[in-house]
Amino acid sequence: MDLAPWALNLPGLWQAWRMDFSLTARQAAFRQKVQEFAANELEPAAGAQDRNGRFPLGLVDELARLGLMGTFVPEEHGGPGEDYVSYVAALEELSKAWASLGAIVSVQNSMVCYPILRFGDESQQRKFLPRLARDKHIGCYAFAEPSAGSDAGGIQTTADRTPALDHTTTAHDPEQED
């Protein structure tokens, strides 16, 4: 395909046109692993799980084992150390099979692990990232309240560190009771 003559004068356009967007062997292998897991384990149950509205706590161990709960967390902090392209490729495969689970994995990686990697100090990274990437620790964030809706800039809620709030809460799954 020929580019218009004016397009050749735009900085970077010619180079972008020639970029190779192929996955590396490592990225493709990671994507394939997630694709197989999604097809075999998730697709058959996704619809029923969405209809019952329960958090799939039993899958968190398996997701962590596959490297999905902290995909780009470096190995020295307990993660698999994959790159962001691998993360997005895996998230795409996961979300094709079960979009709700894809959202859970996306929040864990993008809204929880990434800010700790980017803005946390070394002690915070050592404390939290291994738990998030390989253990049953699930991060979360709050983005709505009655007076602000989903306008994060309008949220007025604040938090103060008190002994009552200074602990880890464990998720409870009633289906796991004896």
Number of domains within the chain: 1
CA 61 – CA 83 distance, rounded (Å): 21
Note whether residue 113 is domain-resident: yes
More reliable by pLDDT, 100 or 143? 100
In angstroms, how far is the first alpha carbon of the chain from the final one?
Answer: 65
pLDDT at 168: 46
CA 89 – CA 132 distance, rounded (Å): 20
Note whether residue 175 is domain-resident: no
Radius of gyration, CA atoms only, the chain: 20
More reliable by pLDDT, 178 or 78? 78
Per residue in 21-42, pLDDT tens? 899 999 999 999 999 999 999 9
Mean pLDDT (whole number) for 156-174:
55
Token pair recorded at residue 104: 């859970």
Note whether residue 4 is domain-resident: no
Note whether residue 6 is domain-resident: no
Mean pLDDT (whole number) for 70-75:
96
Domain that residue 46 falls in: 23-155
pLDDT over threshold 60, residue 178: no
Q: What is the mean pLDDT of the chain?
A: 83
Note whether residue 144 is domain-resident: yes
Residue 29 maps to which CATH number?
Answer: 1.10.540.10
Per residue in 101-153, pLDDT tens? 999 999 999 999 999 999 999 999 999 999 999 987 898 877 777 878 778 77
Cβ contact 154:135 at 8 Å = no
Note whether residue 171 is domain-resident: no
**Nearest Cα to 26, choosing from 84, 98, 113?**
84
Mean pLDDT (whole number) for 6-16:
59
